[in-house]
Structure 1
Amino acid sequence: MIKKLSLYTLALLGGLVLFNSCKKEYETIETLDDRTIAEYIKNNNLTNVKDTLGYHYQIITPGAGAQLLNSDSVYYTYDFKHTDGRSIIKNGDYQIPGTFLGYTDRFGFLTIPSVRFTLSKLKRGGTARVIVPSRLAFGKNGNTTLGVGSNEVIVIELALLAESKQHQIDNLLINKFVAANKLQTTVDPGKRVQYIVSNVGTGKEDLKTTSTVKVKYTGRLLNGTVFDSSTDGVEFKLDEVIRGWTETLPGKVGVGGKIRLLIPSDLAYGSKAQTDISGNVSIPANSSLDFDIEIVSITNK
C-alpha cells in the first residue's frame, strides 16, 4: 500500500510540475509582450495610450460627426506593422475596404477584435493606432506567409474615412490617381467618368449608344494591374457593355480615335467581383477601372 501510494503521489507531483511549467511559460510570454509594448510606447514617445482588454490603443485624431453604431457602413484603411515600423500588410493604395463597423475586425488571415473596438471609439475621419500583444495576434506560430515571427507584438495603424458611400470612395480614389499621375482629365457636366481624348479620329458623330464598334483596348485596375486586353480588336454593341463605356464614348471619338476612361465602380462592375477563366478574381468588388481604348470601326444600322 505504501509503495502504491508513493507512485500515485509521484504521478500527482509530476502533473503539478507540468501544470506549473505551462503556467510559467504563459506568464513569460505575457511578460515579454508587456515589456515589448512598454518599450515601443517609450521609444516612439506615444502619449494618451490606453490599456484595455489586454491590448493598447491610441486615438490620434477622434474624427467628427455622430457616434457610429456597429450597424453603420464604414470605409477604413489599415496597415499592420512590426514594432520597428516595417509594414506587414495593408489595404492596397486604390482599394479601401467597406463593411459594417461591427465586421471591421475580420481579415482573411485573422480576426482581431481590438481593431473593431478601437474603430468604434472613432468618428468619421478619425485615426488610431492599436498595439496588439502576440497572444491576441498571431501567437507562438506567427505567420510565415506574412513574415510575422513567433510571439511577435503587432502594431496596426487605422483610419476611418470621412466618406460613407461607395461613389464617394470611387471619386476619392480616382482623384487620387489623377493627381498622382499628373493627368489632365475632363468630366462632362453631371457625370463622373473622367476621360482623356488623345486622338479624336474621324466621324466622332457616328459613334452612338446603339452603334456596333470594333475596339482595341487595355483594362487596368487603378494599381496598374492589367485584367484584360485586346490587341487584335473585338466587336460588340456599345449599349451591351459597362455603363462607363456606354455613357461616355458616344460623340467623343471616331474611327482611329483613342481615349482613356477612368470609371467609378458603380459604372463598371459594381459590388460583384469578376473572375478570369481559371476562376481567380481579376477585378475585385467595388473597383474603379482605367481603360485605354482605340476605335477600329463603327457600324450603324
Structure 2
Amino acid sequence: MRRLFLLATAIVCFLSCSTDEPVDYTVQNDEEIQAYILENNLNAEKTTSGLYYVIDEQGGGEAPVNLNDRVKVVYKGYFTNGTVFDESTAEGASFILQYVIPGFAEGLTKFNEGGSGKLLIPAHLAYGSNKHNNIPAGSVIIFDIEVVYVNYKTENDIEIQQYLTDNNLEAQKTESGLYYIIDETGTGENPTSTDQVTVAYTGYFTNGEVFDESTVSGATLSLNQVISGWKEGIPYFNEGGKGKLLVPAHLGYGNSNYYTIPGGSVLIFDIELKSIN
C-alpha cells in the first residue's frame, strides 16, 4: 500500500518546485465528475470547494471535525475510467487529517465513524497540475471509503475491555470513557478535582511496558494540572485507597506522541492515594 494521497506536504513541494505555469482544470474536472455521476447513477452532493461526495452509510459514531483529528479508513482510490492507483489493507490506514490532500480531509468530515461512501475529488483539491507518481496531472480521483474509527475512542475502549478480560478484572466505566478499579477503599476523605495530592503510582501500557513510575513515597501534584483521566479518576479514591485507572487517549495525551508515549495510547496506572495536602 503506497498511500499516495496522504502527504499534503508533497503537494506544496510539487507546486513550488514546478517551473511550468499551473493549469486550471476546474471546469474540465467538474464536467468529468458530473458525467461519471450520471453514468453511474450516483446521488452525490457538491461542496463549495468543488468536492463531490456520496454517503452510502452515514455511520453512528464520532465524526472528524478539524485537522487535528485522526481517522482510520479503509479505502480504494481510482480514476473515472476505473483504473485503481492505490488501496489500503482490509484493516485500513490511520492518519491525521492535516496530512492528507484537501479533498480527502474535507470529505471525511461528512462521515461519522462506521460510515461509508465515495469522494470524487477534482485536481485542485488533490495534486493540481502536477503528475504525482502514477497519478497524471489534472486527474479527477475517486475514493471508495469506510471510516473505521475516529480519534481512538472506540479502539481504546475495545483495548481496555480486552485487557480487563485477559486479566480477569472488573472495572467501573464513567460517562467520559474512563475505567477505574478500587482495590482498597481507604479511610480518609475524597479529594476534589482541584486538590493537591500525593500519589504513589506506576504507569504502563496494556502490554505491561512501564513508561513512568513514582518513588515509594509518591509524587505530589495538583489535580488541576494533570491529564483529564487523573483529574477525574483520583477523586474516586479515599485517602489511603489503592487501585487502577485505565485511561483512554482522549483523557490522556490524545492523538500526539508525548515523550515515550505514542499517540493514541491507553494508559494504565496502579495508584495509591497517600494523602490529600
TM-score by length of 2: 0.48
Q: Which has the higher helix share?
A: 1
**Structure ID, larger Rg:** 1
- Point out which structure has higher relative CO (alpha carbons under 8 A, 6+ apart): 2
TM-score by length of 1: 0.45
